[in-house]
Amino acid sequence: MTATAPAGGTPEPRPRPAGSSEGSTSARPERQNGSPDGTSPHAAVPPPPTRPPDVPPPPPASPGAGSGADDDLRTVVPEALGVPAGASRRKRRLWLTVAAVSAVLGVLAGALLAYAMIGPSVTKENDSNKAYDASQPPFTVSVQPEQSEPQQWAMVLDRTLTDEEIRKMKASSDVFSYLKSLGGRPLAYAPSLEHAPQRYREQQASSGGTEFSDTLKMTVMSTRQYAVTINDWKVTDLTCRESTAQAVVGLPPQGGAAYEGIRLHLPPRADEPVLTDDTEGQGEPYFENRFVEVGNGQSSGGLRAEVIAPRGQICEWGVQVHYNDTYRPEGRWVQLKDDKGQPLRIRTESVPENPRQSWVFGSMPWTSCDDMPEEAQCYGL
């Protein structure tokens, strides 16, 4: 039987040669590997592995030493801070402490300096912003006739209507738009201010009854950083002439409340403009307890104004407004100007005194005022 020994282990027994006695504890060994003396050689043991010649052996670790990365950090950081390479550990720690404290003090000093500079810097910036803000116009004003159809209105035209136009007018489902397409200029029946003070209602009664207003919208705009307050106004440079209107068509009132806004006559009556809102204060001077404020984040404000010209007249007029702001707390009067820099002129008219042609409709069939009795007054037309 043959057995094979593992490499580097004890030699395995081989079969006995012929003629050997069984039970003998020794046997003549056979010559192996060409040994001249016939003695059995020792088993071959592989040598221990050696390090490659180009890799130096690692230095022996000293007791209590840390990792290589820690040693490098402990060496590089002090040297970067100016500590001699051979300094003791205590000296290195002292240098590191001093460096850390110096860094913290440097950061605090920078923060304190920046904080100390905030005040002058902010003051300078605010002064610069105020100077720029003061150089801007305090406000601009846009004046436009009201475009929407009033609940009760009268349309004036500078010519009479033809028979064909009268026929189309009566058949139209939108008389207001049709008459505007023919060149008509809308007016509104001025609501009666029933809650106005007694003195104002007496002035209304003395004016002769029905009044017509030429309604406009004034929009005030401002880009100012600080608030601008308009707290008064007055009519300037009023001129009037005879109306050129020849025809008038009216949709008389059937009740209805006053609109929110202001009202004034030309020339203005005492205390005008007055409040028209159907609330407490109706008929009182508008700017007595109210104002228009723009700027300071509020880009625009506005007023709806009912302006009443004398019957049979066309008037042109300007406006001066009084305002206060941060730069003029005492206030100032200014003349409103148009986009060309000229004094703003506003046109206002009323119904003609003796129209050649007049019609009414609405609660009654289409009716020519020429066919109505004189005492009926054709609803003010």
Residues 38-50: tens digit of each pLDDT:
444 444 555 555 5
Residue 340 near residue 254, CB atoms below 8 Å: no
> Residue 374 gets which letter from DSSP?
G
Give the whole-angstrom CA distance, residue 130 versus residue 143: 29
Phi and psi for 363 in degrees, rounded to 5?
Answer: -75, -15
Residue 20 lies in a domain: no
Which stretches of the chain are assigned E, i.e. beta strand? 140-145, 153-157, 185-189, 212-221, 228-242, 247-251, 262-265, 274-275, 292-294, 300-308, 313-325, 332-335, 346-349, 357-360, 367-368
Residue 231: predicted pLDDT? 95
By CB atoms closer than 10 A (0-12, 13-18, 19+), residue 305 is buried
Phi and psi for 326 in degrees, rounded to 5?
Answer: -60, -35
In this model, does residue 116 exceed pLDDT 80?
no
The mean of the pLDDT values for the chain is: 79
Highest mean pLDDT of the ranges 123-137, 138-152, 159-173:
159-173
The pLDDT of 35-39, averaged and rounded, is: 44
Residue 108: predicted pLDDT? 83
What percentage of residues in the chain have a pLDDT greater than 70?
A: 71
Structure confidence by residue, pLDDT tens digits, 320-371: 999 999 898 999 999 999 888 899 999 999 999 999 999 999 988 999 998 7
Q: Find, among 368, 374, 218, the residue nearest to 306 by Cα.
A: 218
Give the whole-angstrom CA distance, residue 349 versus residue 307: 9
| Tokens 């009201």 -> residue | 146
pTM for the model? 0.66
Which comes out higher in pLDDT, residue 241 or 296? 241
The pLDDT of 249-263, averaged and rounded, is: 84
Tokens representing 360 are 């009414």
Which comes out higher in pLDDT, residue 143 or 17? 143
Structure confidence by residue, pLDDT tens digits, 163-208: 999 999 999 999 999 999 999 999 999 988 888 888 888 887 777 7
Residue 199 lies in a domain: yes
Residue 89 lies in a domain: no
Beta-carbon contacts of residue 267 (< 8 Å; ≥ 6 apart): 235, 238
Residue 252 near residue 380, CB atoms below 8 Å: yes
Structure confidence by residue, pLDDT tens digits, 207-218: 777 899 999 999
For residue 6, what pLDDT band results from cuts at 50, 70 and 90? very low
Give the whole-angstrom CA distance, residue 44 versus residue 314: 135
HSE-up (13 A, CA, CB side) for residue 332: 11
Structure confidence by residue, pLDDT tens digits, 63-89: 544 455 555 555 555 566 566 666 677
| 368-377 long-range contacts, CB within 8 A, separation 24+ | 377/209, 377/210
- Residue range(s) defining the domain that contains residue 196: 134-380
Give the whole-angstrom CA distance, residue 323 versus residue 293: 9
The count of structural domains within the chain is 1
Helix (H) or strand (E) run with residue 110 in it: helix 89-135
Residue 205 lies in a domain: yes
Q: Find, among 135, 140, 136, 138, the residue nearest to 341 by Cα.
A: 140
The pLDDT of 253-273, averaged and rounded, is: 86
Residue 370 lies in a domain: yes
Q: Find, among 192, 206, 322, 317, the residue nearest to 263 by Cα.
A: 192
The pLDDT of 119-139, averaged and rounded, is: 76
HSE-up (13 A, CA, CB side) for residue 56: 3
Residue 95 lies in a domain: no
